[in-house]
């Protein structure tokens, strides 16, 4: 007698999303910020995980490195199974820092985006305070010495959830001038600090939280004011928008 299929990480994330109201409240803010930056048209989400972008943007194609019933396709960000110039936007939420070769992703993104298309992503920000959190209280590593522009040999045995949380900060903060040189197809139009208190207190996709859902919105309103002064010292997130030249 065959048993039930084993749960995948995507199943676990979807179950945590269903049970955790504080997580939904936090990501509601993230998605609303993301869709404000999208162009009208067709949007590809990479690393869609538990699959919620379509709630906010109906004309979306949801993909992840692993298949799931609620997603439209399985897709590797470094070898996208889509034709040239078929999307107006690409969305990544906590995905870029998992990509083995960011240069391969940006080449593929340039291929599948229409001229003037956008990449909008929300990623970890490594600041003096958040860096402590990510290094010591988060399971994914932070390696600030990695060269984000270096091509590495593809490892077929690599766990797709392997990561370096420093990659977005290296690309869009510390080595921003080099980004233009390496990726002339893209204009880095926006890099904005986000998240001071609500995100670390929520516990993210872990099962615990130090705050109830009803305080998320007031906390986020306070953060928007304080980010001007505190963002570079303690922001936990980067909101980034690239435009296809």
Mean pLDDT of 210-230: 96
Asked whether residue 152 carries a pLDDT value surpassing 90, the answer given is: no
Question: How much is the pTM?
Answer: 0.95
Q: pLDDT at position 155, please?
A: 85
Q: Of 78, 77, 68, which is closest to residue 7 (Cα–Cα)?
A: 68
Fold of 9-244: Rossmann fold (3.40.50)
Strand partners of residue 92: 46, 121
| Cα radius of gyration (the chain) | 18
Asked whether residue 186 carries a pLDDT value surpassing 90, the answer given is: yes
Total Cβ atoms within 10 A of residue 172: 21
How far apart are the C-alpha atoms of 201 and 208, rounded to whole Å?
A: 9
Q: Of 17, 6, 90, 7, which is closest to residue 50 (Cα–Cα)?
A: 17
Kindly list the domain boundaries of the chain, sorted by start residue. 9-244
Q: pLDDT at position 8, please?
A: 86
Determine contact, residues 17/99, Cβ cutoff 8 Å.
no
């Amino acid at each position: 007698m065959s048993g039930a299929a084993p749960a995948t990480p995507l199943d676990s994330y979807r179950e945590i999303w269903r049970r955790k109201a504080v997580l939904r409240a936090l990501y509601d803010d993230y998605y609303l910020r993301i869709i404000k930056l999208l162009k009208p048209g067709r949007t590809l989400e990479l690393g869609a995980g538990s699959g919620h972008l379509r709630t906010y943007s109906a004309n979306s194609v949801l993909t992840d490195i692993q298949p799931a019933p609620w997603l439209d396709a399985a897709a590797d960000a470094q070898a996208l199974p889509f034709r040239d110039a078929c999307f107006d936007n690409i969305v990544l939420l906590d995905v870029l820092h998992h990509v083995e070769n960011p240069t391969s992703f940006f080449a593929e993104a340039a291929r599948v985006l229409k001229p003037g298309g956008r990449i909008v992503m929300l990623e970890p920000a490594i600041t003096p305070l958040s860096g402590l959190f990510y290094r010591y209280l988060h399971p994914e590593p932070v390696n600030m010495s990695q060269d984000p522009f270096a091509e590495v040999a593809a490892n077929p045995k690599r766990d797709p959830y392997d990561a370096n949380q420093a990659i977005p900060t290296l690309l869009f903060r510390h080595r921003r001038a080099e980004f233009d040189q390496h990726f002339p197809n893209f204009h880095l139009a926006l890099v904005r600090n986000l998240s001071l208190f609500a995100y670390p207190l929520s516990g993210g996709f872990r099962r615990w939280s130090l705050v109830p859902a009803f305080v998320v919105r007031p906390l986020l309103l306070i953060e928007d004011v304080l980010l001007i002064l505190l963002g570079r010292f303690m922001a936990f997130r980067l909101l980034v928008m690239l435009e296809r030249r």
